Homo-oligomer: A and B are copies of this chain.
Amino acid sequence: MAEAYATLSRKEQVIRQAAELFKEKGYSASSMRDLAQKLGIEAASLYSHIKSKEEILRTLCFDMAAEFRASLAEVESQPVSASEKLRLGIIGHVKVMSKDLTAAAVFMNEHRHLSQPYLREFLLLRINYINRFKQFIEDGIASGDFKKNIDTKLAVMTLFSSLNWLPLWFSPESTIEPENLGTQLADMLINGLKQNA
């Protein structure tokens, strides 16, 4: 099973296997001995590659965060309407998650086990990211693209709830491509299920 990661450095292999373990059992319920077993080594041997269990979690969480930020920055730089930016932002978010669904699942579900000050830093990054999506929605309301009476906080939290659960149920064997998936998701959230009269 480790052969699939043969080209990765040993440290990267450790982190990848840890991501799978954390996703499956949760960070706290995953022991270093579990992780070692997945790699076919002793628990103590892990410390030749990583400093601590939490360092793995930090790497996973902050690497994902950086990818999300880069994706959003690119969208913001484009000369399109707010509603189109929202659409592109959603597609970008889905694309980033699709590149590593396992890490994405850990990112969203296990970040709370970070200790301070990393947890605080992580949450600040996240609130910033969310607020920039919220801005798209507010701009879209101001321009008349979106309905006037929308509760923007509710809207943006609903949006992220949908996006963030995706890694938990979406299987990579699915035939649907990330781009297509993102497009459908964006359409659903922006246009709704209802047939336009």
A residues apposed to B, CB below 8 Å: 26, 28-29, 83, 109, 112-113, 137, 140, 144-147, 150-151, 154-155, 157-158, 160-166, 169-170, 176, 181, 184-185, 188-197
Which residues of chain B are near A190, meaning CB under 8 Å?
Answer: 192-194
Give which listed residue, B26, B164, B193, B195, contacts A113 with CB less than 8 A. B26
Assembled-state Cα–Cα distance A192/B112 (Å): 31
Q: Closest approach, in angstroms, between the C-beta of A35 and any C-beta of chain B?
A: 15
Indicate how many identical chains form the complex. Answer: 2
Assembled-state Cα–Cα distance A196/B148 (Å): 11
Beta-carbon contact of A155 and B188 below 8 Å: yes
Which residues of chain B are near A151, meaning CB under 8 Å?
Answer: 176, 184
Which residues of chain B are near A158, meaning CB under 8 Å?
Answer: 162, 185, 188-189
Assembled-state Cα–Cα distance A109/B145 (Å): 35
Beta-carbon contact of B195 and A192 below 8 Å: no
Known: A164-B161, A165-B157. A193 touches B28 (CB 8 A): no
Interface pairs (10), CB distance under 8 Å: A26-B26, A28-B29, A146-B194, A146-B195, A147-B193, A154-B184, A155-B193, A157-B165, A161-B164, A196-B197
